[in-house]
Structure formats: C-alpha cells, structure tokens
Amino acid sequence: MIEEKDEKRDVSYDENQLIQWLIDGDIDEFREHFLSLHAYDQAQFYEKVGPDIRKTMYHFLSPAEMAEIYEAIELDDEEIEHFIKEMDPTYAAEMLSCMYTDDVVDVLNELDENDRDNFLELMDEETAEEISELLGYEKYTAGSLMTTEYVSIQENSTIRSAMNVLRKEAPNAETIYYIYVVDENHRLTGVLSLRELILADEDTLLRDIMNDRVVYVKLTDDQEDIAQIFKDYNFVAVPVVDDQQVLQGIITVDDIIDVIDEEASDDYSKLAGISDIDDIDASPLKAAKQRLPWLVMLLFLGMITATLMGQFEATLEKVALLALFIPLISGTSGNSGTQALAVVVRGIATGEIDEKSKLKMIFREMGTGLITGIACGLIVVGVVFLWKQSLMIGLLVGTAICCSIFVATIAGSFIPLLIHKLGIDPAVASGPFITTLNDITSILIYLGLATLLLGQI
C-alpha cells in the first residue's frame, strides 16, 4: 500500500492493485478506481510504472483521459520524448489535441522538430494551425505561455446574452473566473469577474459595468516580468494582447507557478556557478558539461590570485607567518560578498529593488560592510594577539579583514546591479565568481598592507 500525504491532502491508493488490474486486463475495475483519483496522483502512478504497464494504460484510457494526466505531469525533456514515443502516433496526436494549447506547446517543445511536425500533421488542420502559431513565439515569453482557450464577449452585449455565451464557451475554456470584453475588432476594452457577471442585472450592457483599467501583457513580454505581475495583483489569469491591443490569449496562474519554480531553479544554478541544476539521473558526462565552463573560467581567475601572491613573495619569505592568515581573510571576504550578492539578486528578482532604491541599497550595503568589517577586525586583532603574542600582526590581519569585508560587500551589491542595468540576468554574478573576485582583492589588500608595514612587523 502506498500512501501519499501532504499538509492539505490525505490520499491513499493501492498501487499494486491498480497494476494487477492492468496485468489481468480488468479494464472496468482499473478505470473505476484509477479515474476516481486526483489528476496529480494519476500522473504520479503513470510516471512510476514501467513501459509495459504504461502501454496497457493506453488501451484502457481514452486520449482525452490521458490528456488530463499529461496536463498534471512534470517530466524533463528526455522523459517526455520517451513516453510520447511509446504511444501509437495517432493516439498521441489525439491526446495532444485534447489538451489545452499552452500545455500542448510545453510538450511539443520537448520533442525534436521532425516529431513535432509529424504530430501536427496527424491533428485536425485548425488545431494544428493554432498550436503552430504558439510554437512560433520565442521561448520564455507571454506568447509561448498563453492559452487560446478563454472567454471573450462583445462589449455591447447584455448580461443575459453574455451568460448564454459563457454557458456555451465554458466547457472548452481553461478558466472562466475572468470574462474579457472586446470591441468589434476583438481589441481588449475591459474585464469582468464571474461574480460581477452573475450579480448584474440581465438587461445591463457589459460596457456599462466592465472594468476598463485592464492589466495586460504583450506577446513578447518576458515570463519573469509576467510572474511579478501575478504576484503584485494576485491574479488568477492575465490577458495577452498584440501591439494593436487585439486579445490573443490568456496566461493562467498554474503556468506562472511553473515559471516561478523554473526561474528560482535557474537563479540558484547560476548562483552556484553551473549552467543548470543537475538532474539526479543525469550521466557524469552531462553533469560535467554543465559545470565545466564555470570551473574553467574560475580556474583562470584563480591563476590571477596565484600571480598576485607571487608579486609578494619577498614579503612572505621574510614573514612566513603572514601566509597562515590568507585563507581566513579571503574566505571571510568571499562569504561577505556572497551575502550581499544574495540580498541584491533576491531584491531584483522580487521587484523590491527598482531604479529609485538602487543607490539606497548600495549605501546600505556599504554601511553594513563597514560595521561587520570593523566588528570582525576587532575580534581578529584580539584572537591573533592572544594566539601569536603579536599586536602588530593582529592589527595587520584585523585591518585587512575589515577592509576586505567592506570592499567585498560593495562588490557583491554593485556588480549584480550593474549587470542588471546592462540587461543581463544578475544571477550570472554567481557566488563562485564573486568569491574568486574577492579572493583577488582581499589578497591584494592584505599583502599590500603587509609590504607597507614590513619594517614594523
């Protein structure tokens, strides 16, 4: 017996029994119990079982029923391609035709171009044309996220006629929480909630009660900006228009949740200094390919650190004790820089940092760096003095740490803001990059001060 639980759902089902019904060919028992499950649990079962069991499921479930599973499934590109190719092409094409267009686009984007074209040829002409148009939009934009299954009604319609249209269109719409109002040229002019529509007098015209201050997005808007709009306004859906204000589709909150998860994973991977988060099932070669570019770049930056230390070889030879504190100083400054980087990247991602607050953020981080630097410096002076009985060495290391933390905090806050200003994702100012950069500056500060004070050490 498998039990799946979370804070909001208490679901249990017998996975082994479902598999046994499939093996025995007991279609009635399987359908009765399987179709009573939530789509998420159906998808989880579908992902877990082997290819032979899945092939039996294709005989037991209609393409429309399988479409509901694929709308709830979360697979990477290799798994999607593998699962789709298990199906009979005609069955797969019919299943895709039963899905909402935005979900179909997500699935087809994971296939190679030849497979996409083959499935589109098997679909009816109207559906294939609609999906092809969505596939043509640039990835990560509103056009690629939107669905064309929505309800729009002419602004000169009465509430009575609007309700008739809604009853007719609702079965095929992805959401009917918002009803979008358009003019005779299908330009977006207003919006109504379902609640407002139900409560209004039947003879009232839509244009008299609609909200004409509509928040919308353009076809080319970036998905990260769209996610911010959903967060700010708590929308369930948002309309998508072209440059002429013609309504093209809507984006629903379930797709934006996926975007938020995707963007968070992407930012985390960049902060970790890799091109993408490793799939736990990825081969060592694939994982190495993802990590190697950053490591090679950081390797060359590390050579700069080694070269700098070579310039102070005479200083280190005279006072070998200085080398003992290099990891302490570089590590502390790197940690401080990474902290500032994380705060700023998060602020940019959530919209808390805008053009007006950037300067304020830099000054705040400068103050933070100064305070933390002085505090850490004083602690180090005391520790080194008690440890090595040398006040001068303690003052040198403490001053170096204070200055390094101050500079690292400024770098960690300023660099992502600069990169963002240039139109580049600030997350590329990754933790390893900032750490390596701060290694260089901290060693330059430390050994530079040591050289100046060499006669007094």
Q: What is the mean pLDDT of residues 424-432?
A: 64
**pLDDT of 6 over the 70 cut:** no
CB atoms under 10 Å from CB of 31, counted, come to: 15
Say how far apart CA 374 and CA 435 lie, in whole Å. Answer: 20
Q: What is the mean pLDDT of residues 104-122?
A: 89
DSSP string, 84-120: HHHS-HHHHHHHHHHS-HHHHHHHHTTS-HHHHHHHH
Q: What is the mean pLDDT of residues 131-153?
A: 92
Side by side, the strands of the sheet bearing 217-218 are: 217-218, 237-241, 247-252
Determine the pLDDT at residue 8. Answer: 40
Determine the pLDDT at residue 358. Answer: 85
Q: Taking all residues of the chain, what is their mean pLDDT, rounded to a whole number?
A: 85
**pLDDT of 83 over the 70 cut:** yes
Name which residue leads in pLDDT, 270 or 25. 25
Give the rounded distance of the alpha carbon of 34 from its chain centre.
32
Sequence letter at residue 422: L
Nearest to 150 by CA among 59, 249, 61: 249
**pLDDT of 4 over the 50 cut:** no
Determine the pLDDT at residue 5. Answer: 39
Kindly indicate the confidence band of residue 306, based on its pLDDT and cuts at 50, 70 and 90.
confident
Determine the pLDDT at residue 335. Answer: 86
Nearest to 385 by CA among 374, 394, 396, 397: 394
Domains for the chain: give ranges and CATH numbers.
2-137 (1.25.60.10), 152-264 (3.10.580.10), 284-456 (1.10.357.20)
**pLDDT of 7 over the 50 cut:** no
- Residue 22, H or E segment: helix 15-24
Cα Dmax for the chain: 95
Kindly indicate the confidence band of residue 102, based on its pLDDT and cuts at 50, 70 and 90.
confident
**pLDDT of 447 over the 80 cut:** yes
The string of pLDDT tens digits covering residues 244-301 is: 999 999 999 988 888 877 766 666 555 555 555 545 555 677 666 766 666 677 677 6
Taking a C-beta distance cutoff of 8 angstroms, is the pair 375, 336 a contact? no
**pLDDT of 78 over the 90 cut:** no
Determine the pLDDT at residue 3. Answer: 40
Say how far apart CA 242 and CA 258 lie, in whole Å. Answer: 24
**pLDDT of 10 over the 70 cut:** no
Q: How many CA atoms lie within 13 A of 185 on its CB side?
A: 7
3 state SS of 209: helix
Name which residue leads in pLDDT, 69 or 390. 69
